[in-house]
């Protein structure tokens, strides 16, 4: 029986690239999203390459819907080896310039969506054994980001949830890991006009992140031995993580002030 992966937000961007990479690796892929046209095109591409994907509409903010799609997929695929909590949204701008309803939606999708996925998937992940949960965090969880304040706060949430569940679920043999890319060329950053993006530019593609996810899900002996939880993606994120880790907090503040043009 091939291994299986359930990916949210799979219709576009990083999720779509990740679905294609896992399919090429021989996994049974489940792609779920609100965007059904994007899912149909993903399914066509995987099928054209000889795969047999499962796709379906899913709003990650709805726990019952999430549990239902996971149950259908797990039954059809014969288990659940990997869950990728990838669906996410972003609104850029100063806090007061963003509609309060958009702030609430951002928190619902980026935080509640990941909690829903983890909780709904746990029974299937436990039953399968040696399973992995991959949560899409972000370099914006290294230091609070001006003009991305709520988005960046949601990624701090994802970081905390990942670390806690990695410890809670170790006894079940489930790895819970977080991916930390800086800006990636997807629809999420199209038209985004903020200082930090202006300073750093965009140097990652969806494929780069998908490659990093695949490598993290099939870790080498050192990552297994050290129970690695956090995976920076790309040189810029690696550098930022190292500086943020070792620099005193005043220096981190100054760095992020400079980068964000604040």
Ligand X SMILES: NC(=O)c1ccc[n+]([C@@H]2O[C@H](COP(=O)([O-])OP(=O)(O)OC[C@H]3O[C@@H](n4cnc5c(N)ncnc54)[C@H](O)[C@@H]3O)[C@@H](O)[C@H]2O)c1
Subset of residues 80 to 109 that bind ligand X, contact rule: CB under 6 A: 86-89, 109
151 is catalytic: yes
Comparing C-alpha atoms, which of 142, 237, 140 is closest to residue 192?
Answer: 140
Question: 162-186 burial by CB neighbour count: b if 16+ within 10 A, else e?
Answer: beebbeebeeeebbbbbbbbbbbbb
Task: Determine, following the binding rule CB under 6 A, whether residue 35 of this chain makes contact with ligand X.
Answer: yes
User: What is the maximal distance between C-alpha atoms in the chain?
Assistant: 53
CA angle 82, 84, 90 (to 5 degrees): 175
Of 8 and 162, nearer to ligand X (C-beta) is 8
Q: How many CB atoms lie within 10 A of CB 262?
A: 12
Residue 34 C-beta: closest distance to ligand X, Å: 5
**DSSP structural state of residue 51:** -
Subset of residues 121 to 150 that bind ligand X, contact rule: CB under 6 A: 136, 138
Task: Determine, following the binding rule CB under 6 A, whether residue 152 of this chain makes contact with ligand X.
Answer: no
Token couple for 62: 């709805």
Task: Determine, following the binding rule CB under 6 A, whether residue 166 of this chain makes contact with ligand X.
Answer: no
CA–CA separation, 142 vs 244, rounded Å? 7
Task: Determine, following the binding rule CB under 6 A, whether residue 43 of this chain makes contact with ligand X.
Answer: no
Residue 180 C-beta: closest distance to ligand X, Å: 8
Of 12 and 124, nearer to ligand X (C-beta) is 12
Residue 205 C-beta: closest distance to ligand X, Å: 10
Provide the binding-site residues for ligand X, judged by CB under 6 A: 8-9, 11-15, 33-35, 38, 58-61, 86-89, 109, 113, 136, 138, 181, 183-184, 186-189
Active-site amino acid positions: 151
């Amino acid at each position: 029986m091939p291994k299986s992966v359930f990916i949210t937000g799979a219709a576009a961007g990083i999720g779509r690239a990740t679905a294609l990479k896992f399919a090429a690796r021989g996994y049974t892929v489940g792609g779920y999203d609100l965007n059904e046209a994007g899912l149909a095109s993903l399914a066509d591409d995987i099928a054209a390459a000889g795969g047999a994907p499962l796709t379906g509409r899913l709003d990650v903010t709805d726990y019952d819907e999430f549990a239902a799609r996971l149950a259908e997929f797990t039954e059809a695929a014969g288990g659940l080896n990997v869950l990728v909590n990838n669906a996410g949204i972003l609104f850029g701008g100063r806090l007061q310039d963003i509609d309060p309803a958009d702030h609430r939606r951002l928190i619902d999708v980026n935080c509640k969506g990941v909690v829903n996925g983890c909780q709904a998937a746990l029974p299937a992940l436990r039953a399968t054994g040696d399973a992995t949960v991959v949560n899409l965090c972000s370099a914006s969880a290294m230091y609070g980001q001006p003009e991305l304040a709520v988005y960046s706060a949601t990624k701090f949430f994802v970081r905390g949830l990942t670390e806690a569940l990695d410890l809670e679920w170790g006894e079940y043999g489930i790895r819970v890991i977080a991916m930390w890319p800086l800006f990636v060329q997807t629809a999420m950053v199209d038209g985004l006009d903020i200082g930090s993006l202006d300073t750093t530019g965009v140097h990652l593609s969806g494929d780069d992140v998908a490659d990093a996810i695949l490598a993290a899900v099939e870790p080498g002996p050192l990552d297994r031995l050290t129970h690695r939880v956090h995976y920076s993606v790309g040189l810029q994120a690696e550098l930022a993580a190292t500086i943020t880790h070792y620099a005193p907090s005043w220096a981190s503040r100054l760095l992020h002030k400079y980068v964000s043009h604040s």
